[in-house]
Structure 1
């Protein structure tokens, strides 16, 4: 079941902060993909996310040229057909999430924030489904078994994703729009120490 969060109840600042935090959890997936494939500029995307955080800090007068940033980002989007390993899919989700956030900041439409939530969840869903399928294959079972949605939802990574998104949403909703909240959100991610797929954050 997809996560449905009431983004209309958040201010634009709160929505941006929530989206940026989800992308912080996703970004290590792109870094690992770039290291293993030789494709993509991880640091460029890292810098774009840092720019978004700076924009949220109201004590700084940061302007973003959205069209220029989106053009730069388009060059970092991997083509799944050009790579033969799973890592391309969560890397693609990262670029789509950053694109959604930049576009939402530019247009102030709630749909972009919902996209980030779904992209993060979809990355985990796909990864869990792959892991469960591989586990079945390794059992060499003569019987044909299918992975159910219940199996995926009950997986610890999927449960963690749902719980984390709900926790972050509630935290942002009840927090002031200031530098302390930004620091607290970053600390939540760094203290978890893992991407949304369980990859260790360097």
Structure 2
């Protein structure tokens, strides 16, 4: 599958601001500074589609991007950033939960974790949350270019065991820097839900 077209459609806080055209949706979620915006830009081959910030925690809305005029890639707020107030953290959690609850258009959740570190308690909670709502989950370990070849398997085992991934969950390493395996990852994340697969 090729991503030939990608465009920002809307940012939303409330349900009545979500698109209502019933296109399939694939949502990306992860802790702040995990490289979510960079991954989205890399997959779509658009340098500034999702805003990359040097300050973690800047994505505070649910952002919808239309891919190939066919389905939505949904960018959810980052979580786990320490330098925000408790009230603001709760607000982000509410925004994420509101989107996940009874969103029948949502077909898959892509959980991003940092390949260099053990998943955090927030990562574990997010994974369990997605499973609780019955969604198909794919885990992508970002920044894999920072790992030596000898560290890859150790990282994979640590992430899988910490999150307690099920046999149904797919797991991939990815680097937005070297973009190795981009086409394969696009197919694995989106092909199942796309109607235009050229």
TM-score by length of 1: 0.27
- Structure with the bigger percentage of strand: 2
TM-score by length of 2: 0.27
Which one has a bigger Cα radius of gyration? 1
